[in-house]
Structure 1
Amino acid sequence: MNSPLHRIATTLAVLSIAVLLVLSIVYLGDKSSGPLEDFFRGISGSVSRLEEDYILSKRSESRAKKLEWLAPIKQDASLLKKPSQLLLGTYDNQAIPSFQPIINLEDSLDTTFPIIHFYSAWGSKREQRFPIEAIRAISTLGSIPMVTWEPWLNDFSEDEIPFLKNKEDRDKNGLKDVSEGLYDTYLIRWAQEARDANTTILLRLGHEMNDPYRYPWGPQNNQANDFIAAWRHVVDLFRLEGASNVLWVWTPHLAYGYFEDYYPGKDYVDWIGTGTLNYGTVAPWSQWWSFDEIFARYYEELATYEKPILLAEFGSLAVGGNRAEWYSNALKEFPKRYPQVRALIFFHNKNDATTTYQALNWYFIDDTAILDAIKTQFHTW
């Protein structure tokens, strides 16, 4: 079965399926929504699974085998509500459509990430449906998927969501519309597919909701109580659909405070998340901050929620200081200094165009000084 001829035949079959998929989607366009779209998504998922199987087969030791200890947690989400150890993970913007860049980073750090993070937006576009291919691929690799789920309301079409406001008015009080059920058709389908994924999922919904400058679901458009009502409504829908495999990650922006005003309540939150990115001197509004300056002064307040803490975006740019030193100091005696932090997710983005006019590079896989600094601290834990 592993002969060269068999591998060539398999490769040609996969390529043929992929070509047919692309041609069909291009030809059908938006007409492919519904059952036909689901059919093609199924084919896409098959291609994805073949790809991940190929990656795994080429490794001397199966990545999934290294993470066998995680299997019970993947099948029982309740075990992840009080994890006994610090879990590492990463987001890598190059990991689409293949997760090979994440495996490369793991190899460079001599570790295996239990959590793989990616971003998904709300909307009616094909790529904004439930990301089943990515979820399956991450699960096949042995890890737990973490999804940052962003409520971009302007991407919905009236064909899917009746009675939508005009796009220019949709963000204003948009979360109130969410809480009142306007987007339930989309949310229920997402919940059903999340349930049927049959793996634990960390879902980071509407992050940095207290930031009045960046995202349309922030306080420039919505009241804090509307955020809470929308959050609870979404969680309740998932529970009604039996999606108990989904754990909810609430992630305020540290710098903008008012945490309590936006907290949905202990019965609606499983993890407390936060971003800890050092932008250095890349912009007039930023300066070189150590990790402790970014996070330490907020740790005690976050710990009062008595939930495990997750650092959803951990990283530093190079402009303005010594990055290797930044990572080394951040990770030094980390589990001892921050015992309630139970997950740390590297932000490994080579082309981040979400914050400044210029694309920012958070990549460090080619920087041996940073890799050595991180590995040195890992070995002391």
Structure 2
Amino acid sequence: MVIARSRLTAAALLVVAVFFLVDACGGAGSKGGANAGTATASAAHFQVSSMLKPSGRTLGVVDDKTPWQYGIVTAFTKEAGRAPDIREYYSSWGDDFDAEGNAFLWRHGQLPMMALVPSDTSLADIAKGKDDAYIGRLADQIASYDGPLALSFAGEMNGPWNSWGPQHAKPRDFVASWRRAHDIFTARGVTNVIWVWTPHVVDSGTTAELRPYYPGSAYVDWVGLIGYYGPIDGIAFSSLFTPTLREIAGFSAKPVLIAETGVAESDDKQAHIRDLFQGAAKAGVIGLIWYDQRKDWPGGKQLMDWRISTSVGALAAFQVESARNDFGHSLKNG
């Protein structure tokens, strides 16, 4: 509220004085300056600390639609037999954060997970601070949403098909840009973000070592792996995920989430679904997020159908194995 000081009565001045006295003794402070690293009063009240080590295995769904496009959740709920615990979506670098849309997801029981994609931005420029103003604005927008957000930045950084992959950016640029964003969020008092580091599994198409891309345990809350069962690399959990899990275990003890996966349509889809859930449960992951759409093979142009409803058998296998292996744990209560 703006007050015309020249016209205040003595009584009004007294009220204003009392207001500022209370504010100085413990009320909310004024919003910080324009500098991206300045703490502001917009910092979220929500604390994700209790959510960092889930006690059960979550089940999620991912697609490229906005949080408001809830059809994927309702369709997945009907087919899977339960609502997803995580709803992942993609956002381009430079886009504003949709606080209302994410709040809508959280109210309906889904932890929002935003995969922030720097398609048209150089990681080296981010690391040098050229986008600090955007990072600061994004941090404030996320803080204004009083709920949790899992945030994945520049996922599949080891994938040569990405504009921020090994052929376009050095590991040190990825690490420096991640840390810069994280530090700005921290400086602005943002407490409602779960930072998810999401490489693609190491396979014939992604041979880069992962350790040089790891920002460090102080900068990562969850490790999120991306990998698909299909005709090129993934036909078993032991060959698709286990080697990467072993590699990561050498430098990180953070909880592991399978952040994006699916099983391509084939005569063996039911068996592959069973293998995925059983292998993931045995590996001790904290959850699994399914890409329930048609999508090109990662790094290629071969169209695959990853949906759980491609056949009666595939759907039954998904329902039975997800329940049998205890995938489905709400994160609403930490």
Which of the five TM-score ranges fits, normalised by the shorter chain?
0.7 to 0.9
Q: Given that residues 271 and 308 in structure 1 are in contact (C-alpha distance below 8 angstroms), is that contact kept between their aligned partners in structure 2?
A: yes
CA distance in 1, matches of 2:127, 2:64: 31
Q: How does 1:249-328 map to 2 (within 5 A)?
A: 249-255=196-202, 256-280=207-231, 286-287=232-233, 289-304=235-250, 305-319=252-266, 321-328=267-274
After superposition, the CA RMSD in angstroms is 2.2
Larger proportion of helix? 1
Given candidates 190, 211, 225, the residue that maps to 2:138 is: 190
Q: Secondary structure at the match of 1:310?
A: strand
Could you say which residue in structure 1 is the equivalent of 2:31? none
Q: Given that residues 115 and 146 in structure 1 are in contact (C-alpha distance below 8 angstroms), is that contact kept between their aligned partners in structure 2?
A: yes
Q: Report how far residue 307 of structure 1 moved.
A: 0.5
Query: Where does the alignment leave 5 or more consecutive residues of structure 2 unmatched?
Result: 1-44, 326-334
CA distance in 2, matches of 1:225, 1:266: 16
CA distance in 2, matches of 1:279, 1:333: 16
CA distance in 2, matches of 1:86, 1:353: 26
Q: Given that residues 93 and 351 in structure 1 are in contact (C-alpha distance below 8 angstroms), is that contact kept between their aligned partners in structure 2?
A: no
Given candidates 145, 148, 152, the residue that maps to 2:119 is: 152
Q: Given that residues 145 and 202 in structure 1 are in contact (C-alpha distance below 8 angstroms), is that contact kept between their aligned partners in structure 2?
A: yes
Question: Once the two structures are superposed, what CA deviation does each residue of 1:265-294 show, in whole Å capped at 9, x if it has no partner?
Answer: 1100001111121232xxxxx256223210
Q: Given that residues 195 and 221 in structure 2 are in contact (C-alpha distance below 8 angstroms), is that contact kept between their aligned partners in structure 1?
A: yes
Given candidates 164, 174, 180, the residue that maps to 1:227 is: 174
Q: Secondary structure at the match of 1:316?
A: coil
1:379 matched to 2:320? The reply is: no
Q: Which is bigger in relative contact order (C-alpha 8 A, separation at least 6)?
A: 2
Q: TM-score, normalised by structure 2?
A: 0.76
1:103 matched to 2:74? The reply is: yes
CA distance in 2, matches of 1:272, 1:232: 15
Given candidates 284, 300, 305, the residue that maps to 1:361 is: 305
Could you say which residue in structure 2 is the equivalent of 1:344? 288
Q: Given that residues 58 and 287 in structure 2 are in contact (C-alpha distance below 8 angstroms), is that contact kept between their aligned partners in structure 1?
A: yes
Query: Where does the alignment leave 5 or more consecutive residues of structure 1 unmatched?
Result: 1-73, 155-173, 281-285
Q: Given that residues 228 and 234 in structure 2 are in contact (C-alpha distance below 8 angstroms), is that contact kept between their aligned partners in structure 1?
A: no
Could you say which residue in structure 1 is the equivalent of 2:96? 129
Asked which structure has the greater CA Rg, the reply is 2
Question: Once the two structures are superposed, what CA deviation does each residue of 1:214-247 show, in whole Å capped at 9, x if it has no partner?
Answer: 1111221222112111110000011112211111
Could you say which residue in structure 2 is the equivalent of 1:91? 62
Letter in 2 for 1:135: N
Q: TM-score, normalised by structure 1?
A: 0.67
Q: Given that residues 310 and 344 in structure 1 are in contact (C-alpha distance below 8 angstroms), is that contact kept between their aligned partners in structure 2?
A: yes
State the aligned residue count: 276
